[in-house]
Amino acid sequence: MGADRHEAYGPGDTVAAEARAALVREIAADGALDDPAWRAAFQEVPRHVFVPYYFVSRPGGFDRLWGEDADPARRARWLKGAYADGALATRVRDGELISSSSQPSLMARMLTELDVRDGDRVLEIGAGTGYNAALLAHRLGDERVTTIDLDPEITESARRHLAAAGYRPAVVTGDGARGCPERAPFDRIIATCALPSVPLSWLAQCAPGARILAPLATGLIALTVEGPAGTEAARAEGRFLHTAAYFVPLRGTPSGEAAERRRLGGLPRRAVENDLFRFMLTLTSGTLDPHEAYSLWQREHRPGRERFGVTIGHGGQWAWLDDPSGPYVWPLSRDGS
């Protein structure tokens, strides 16, 4: 879809293109770009256009790197960072990260797992810089991509970045937890922000057989929507991918970090520092206390993310281990909102 896009991004285009090609080779070498269509998207969509500035941490705060810095060394550092396979802090408020551009290799894995087909309509929750929406638009076409964010400053900057790169998907300012009913139905929904649960409103806006991919409890849940959309019979079920995923929380939802730190008191250090156990602990929060969760995790041979799954219906949401009808099932959300 991107063959007719024209690159006109100012000085340094050749250097940027070379850096972009190197990033694509790095991601592909890790097996995350086996699909030629996604490889072409990452090759052609210029990430640096979407991160005209970003922040790097330093003791006591952040430094801002800018593409129009008068210092050529700092400009070179900015461009190098834009094409590094790492997340970039793009918005910081009162010392707190509120928006970022995700690690490109993780984006590639998520887009591959989204399993889009030609003609699919996609809703992205969390517009960020607009880069992910551009990759989707390159693959599917502008008219089939919608990205939504609660912050009007974020959607406006994403819209500018997209236009500068030659892409014009629908960019909507609104509450991503409510979806985007005016653009529904969707064949795929992808969230680029961490969620405490999957909103039922998304199911109502999905076509039958739709796929939802979302960060949940430091993992990525891949759900298939079953039954007639928008009815009491609609439900979704699926498993977590093995991949870890850490995202900025969906605005308006609690991160739970302080509560988790309190809950970890008294556990062995090897448990506190184990990423897979912390994933399980977050997933079963509110049902199992930390010691119960740790005993179960050890008894079940320290299960990884891919052994867990989620079932969602109008009666509630449940996380489970191995089998949705098995002995280990926990309510994921009290209100199912």
pTM, entire model: 0.89
pLDDT digits (tens, 9 = 90+) for 174-211: 999 999 999 999 999 999 988 888 999 999 999 999 99
Q: What is the mean pLDDT of the chain?
A: 88
Please name the residue that has the structure tokens 């609104």. 174
Neighbours of 38 (CB within 10 A): 24
In this prediction, residue 317 carries a pLDDT of: 93
In this prediction, residue 295 carries a pLDDT of: 93
What amino acid is encoded at 2 in this protein? G
Share of the chain above pLDDT 90, in %: 69
pLDDT digits (tens, 9 = 90+) for 38-74: 999 999 999 999 999 999 988 888 899 999 999 999 9
Q: Where in the chain is the domain with CATH 3.40.50.150?
A: 13-240
Mean pLDDT of 114-124: 97
Based on its alpha-carbon atoms, the radius of gyration of the chain, rounded to whole angstroms, reads 20
What amino acid is encoded at 50 in this protein? F
In this prediction, residue 84 carries a pLDDT of: 97
pLDDT digits (tens, 9 = 90+) for 9-41: 443 478 999 999 999 999 999 899 999 999 999
In this prediction, residue 273 carries a pLDDT of: 84
CATH of domain 13-240: 3.40.50.150
pLDDT digits (tens, 9 = 90+) for 128-163: 999 999 999 999 999 999 999 999 999 999 999 999
Q: Hey, what are 336's tokens?
A: 């199912």
In this prediction, residue 135 carries a pLDDT of: 98
In this prediction, residue 9 carries a pLDDT of: 41
Q: Is the dihedral of CA 65, 71, 74, 78 positive or negative?
A: positive
Q: Give the confidence band of 6 by pLDDT, cuts at 50, 70, 90.
A: very low
Catalytic one among 57, 99, 100, 255? 99
Is 99 annotated as catalytic? yes
In this prediction, residue 106 carries a pLDDT of: 94
pLDDT digits (tens, 9 = 90+) for 242-289: 988 888 776 544 444 544 555 565 778 888 889 999 999 989 987 888
In this prediction, residue 105 carries a pLDDT of: 96
Task: Decide if pLDDT at 4 tops 50.
Answer: no
Mean pLDDT of 104-125: 97
Q: Taking each helix axis from N to C terminus, what angle separates 104-114 and 13-29, rounded to the nearest 10 degrees?
A: 60
> Exposed, middle or buried by CB within 10 Å (0-12, 13-18, 19+), for 298?
exposed
In this prediction, residue 248 carries a pLDDT of: 74
Task: Decide if pLDDT at 323 tops 60.
Answer: yes
